[in-house]
């Protein structure tokens, strides 16, 4: 069985300003290791799939960076969206291209900006999911919750499918309030939706045709140009007309042939600076440090400085302090999700050089 990894790399990562910018979004930052997140995403697949097997869906502004960071991915497998159109068109584009080469091929849809601590367990979960996908299922990898998280969507598990790890899906659940999140954690019937999906190319295209017929018509029109010199022009003309909708809302929450594979592989979506202690080692005081960071009587902080000048932080608790060279961020860890408001404020003041 051949697995075609599809890395979705269209995010902007505004919660990581000032390290992330329009030209270098979150997936290009070395947040979980010494390598950019997108490189870790491709490398952790080996030997289940080679880097050269990967497809990457990205925007025009980031295509050159993708090709530079992942030189083993063939140029024809870097699919450049003319405009951002959410995950359903991005996944549909990849499925339409791959279906021309391998209609029954299994796609593994992978966000480019997540962290996985246990790569062997992750590959095993993908292999398990691919087994269900070969049988015609749309498979979602889900993660056993470790806390009452209000920032993630959940999946309510249904009946188990025989001796394997797969379950039917009882319901997809939106981000809950804290009280419900605590009930989900205690009940053991809900898992986090990790945004990682596995299905055959023909299966997802059939599901799109059923649930998103407007998108299907556009993909059919594009498919007629795959492998031809006319493809780039057709993509530029057709893709901007496709509906802007996620694969979750548009297809998976409506489909009947859904299987969820609960897993535990040390997953984090690295959603903000406050999440870095989940993916990087800390000092004895719980500080995550980078560059010439100098914590003095500091506890539970994220302090990322430059390599050529000290960043001293004295007598503080639970702060995020980031020196990006041309901009500085200071905020409580509890407010790290609100960093995107800085990007909005810079845009409103027309300070484009800092975006």
**Is residue 79 pLDDT above 80, yes or no?**
yes
Q: Which residue has the tokens 């390599």?
A: 307
Percent of the chain with pLDDT over 70: 100
Quote the tokens at residue 60: 């025009």
DSSP 86-134: -HHHHHHHHHHHHHHH-TTPEEEEEETT-EES-HHHHHHHHHHHHHHHH
Tell me the C-alpha distance between 22 and 96, whole Å.
28
For residue 38, give the nearest of 16, 6, 78, 9 by alpha carbon. Answer: 9
**Is residue 12 pLDDT above 80, yes or no?**
no
pLDDT tens figures, 157-197 = 999 998 889 999 998 888 888 899 899 999 989 999 999 99
For residues 221-228, give the mean pLDDT. 94
For residues 84-107, give the mean pLDDT. 95
Which pLDDT does position 262 carry in this prediction? Answer: 94
For residue 259, give the nearest of 152, 353, 125 by alpha carbon. Answer: 125
> Model confidence at 132, in pLDDT bands (50, 70, 90)?
very high
**Is residue 10 pLDDT above 90, yes or no?**
no
Tell me the C-alpha distance between 139 and 131, whole Å.
10
A 10 A CB-CB count for 308 gives: 8
**Is residue 214 pLDDT above 90, yes or no?**
yes
Which pLDDT does position 93 carry in this prediction? Answer: 97
Which pLDDT does position 151 carry in this prediction? Answer: 83
Quote the tokens at residue 208: 């799109």
Tell me the C-alpha distance between 180 and 349, whole Å.
39
- Specify the pTM: 0.94
pLDDT tens figures, 21-75 = 988 999 999 999 999 999 999 999 999 999 999 999 999 999 999 999 999 999 9
For residues 126-132, give the mean pLDDT. 97
**Is residue 1 pLDDT above 80, yes or no?**
no
Tell me the C-alpha distance between 145 and 152, whole Å.
10
Which pLDDT does position 163 carry in this prediction? Answer: 87
Which domains, from first to last, does the chain contain?
A: 3-268 (3.90.550.10), 273-354 (no CATH)
**Is residue 6 pLDDT above 90, yes or no?**
yes
The SS3 call for residue 248 is helix
Tell me the C-alpha distance between 181 and 3, whole Å.
34
pLDDT tens figures, 232-274 = 999 999 999 999 999 999 999 999 999 999 999 999 999 899 9
174 DSSP 8-state letter? P
> Model confidence at 146, in pLDDT bands (50, 70, 90)?
confident
Which pLDDT does position 171 carry in this prediction? Answer: 87
Buried b or exposed e, range 25-64, using 16+ CB within 10 angstroms = bbbbbebbeeebbbbbbbebbeebbeeebbbbbbbeebbe
pLDDT tens figures, 304-323 = 999 999 999 999 999 999 99
Q: 137 with 34: CB under 8 angstroms? A: no
């Amino acid at each position: 069985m051949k697995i075609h990894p599809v890395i979705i790399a269209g995010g902007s990562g505004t919660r990581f300003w000032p390290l992330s910018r329009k030209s270098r979004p979150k997936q290009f930052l070395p947040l979980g290791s010494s390598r950019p997140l997108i490189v870790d995403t491709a490398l952790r697949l080996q030997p289940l799939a080679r880097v050269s097997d990967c497809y990457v869906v990205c925007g025009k502004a980031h295509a050159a960076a993708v090709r530079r960071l992942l030189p083993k991915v063939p140029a024809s497998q870097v699919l450049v969206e003319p405009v951002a159109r959410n995950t359903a068109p991005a996944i549909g584009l990849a499925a339409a291209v791959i279906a021309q080469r391998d209609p029954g091929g299994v796609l593994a849809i992978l966000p480019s900006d997540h962290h996985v601590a246990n790569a062997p367990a992750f590959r095993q979960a993908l292999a398990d999911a691919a087994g269900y996908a070969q049988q015609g299922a749309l498979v979602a990898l889900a993660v056993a919750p470790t806390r009452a998280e209000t920032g993630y969507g959940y999946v309510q598990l249904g009946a188990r499918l025989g001796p394997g790890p797969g379950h039917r899906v009882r319901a997809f659940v939106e981000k809950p309030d804290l009280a419900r999140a605590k009930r989900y954690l205690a009940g053991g019937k809900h898992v986090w939706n990790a945004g990682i999906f596995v299905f055959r190319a023909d299966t997802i295209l059939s599901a799109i045709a059923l649930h998103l017929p407007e998108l299907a018509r556009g993909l059919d029109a594009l498919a007629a140009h795959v492998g031809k010199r006319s493809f780039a022009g057709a993509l530029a003309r057709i893709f901007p007309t496709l509906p802007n909708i996620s694969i979750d809302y548009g297809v998976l929450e409506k489909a009947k042939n859904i299987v969820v594979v609960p897993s535990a592989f040390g997953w984090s979506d690295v959603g903000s600076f406050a999440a870095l202690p989940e993916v990087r080692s800390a000092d004895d005081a719980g500080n995550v440090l980078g560059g010439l960071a100098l914590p003095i009587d500091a506890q539970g902080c994220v302090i990322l400085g430059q390599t050529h000048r000290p960043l001293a932080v004295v007598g503080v608790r639970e702060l995020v302090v980031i020196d990006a060279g041309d901009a500085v961020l200071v905020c409580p860890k509890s407010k790290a999700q609100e960093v995107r408001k800085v990007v909005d404020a810079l845009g409103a003041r027309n300070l484009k050089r800092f975006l």
